[in-house]
Chain A
């Protein structure tokens, strides 16, 4: 398979995924888009293995690795901070007598807010990865030009 065919196929898969997302929202069946997402990633992975003119050498692998590691290093701190907040809700059992007006336990995050939170985390992960990828690609001379 040629590189351009692969990019075209990836674009078609992305459009199909968007259509499934739209349908999934319309009928309110989240598993549709969840399964479709996993299948789409598998299809892209399998198609990528069949590309003949796409050279992936040690420098490009290193750029990807470094970007992924840095993304993970930053993301897990943010993710852990939000998770600790959620864990606090199940740990909120007062052990000592309290004075003053009765304290209300923290409210469980509504499902819609949880969706926004997940969306924020997802966007953060994507922005971090793209940002670090650009940084390391620049560092390892991806856009260097020469007299040749």
Chain B
């Protein structure tokens, strides 16, 4: 599972701590998801996507394909 949380964080000027507080998880969880060490539940994935105002597929992609750049 690949994700673009880091990119979307940068776009919204959020630190891991800020995002973690808004989503209701720890900073380590955001870091673990970004680094691919932890695959979030559907509930958490939707919460993250909803926070950035995009579909979940925009942030999370299944498989090993390289991540694409986010829409401008």
Contact = CB atoms under 8 A, between A and B. Distances in A.
Interface string B6-37: 00000000011100000011101101101101
A141 B41 contact: no
A50 interface: no
B28 A144 contact: yes
Interface residues of A, number: 13
A148 to B, nearest CB: 6
A146 B37 contact: no
Contacts of A140: 32, 37-38
Nearest to B41: A58
Interface string B33-57: 0110110110110000000000000
17 contacts: A57-B25, A57-B29, A58-B41, A59-B25, A59-B28, A59-B32, A59-B38, A62-B38, A140-B32, A141-B32, A141-B35, A141-B38, A142-B28, A142-B32, A144-B32, A144-B37, A148-B16
Interface of A: 55, 57-60, 62, 139-142, 144, 146, 148
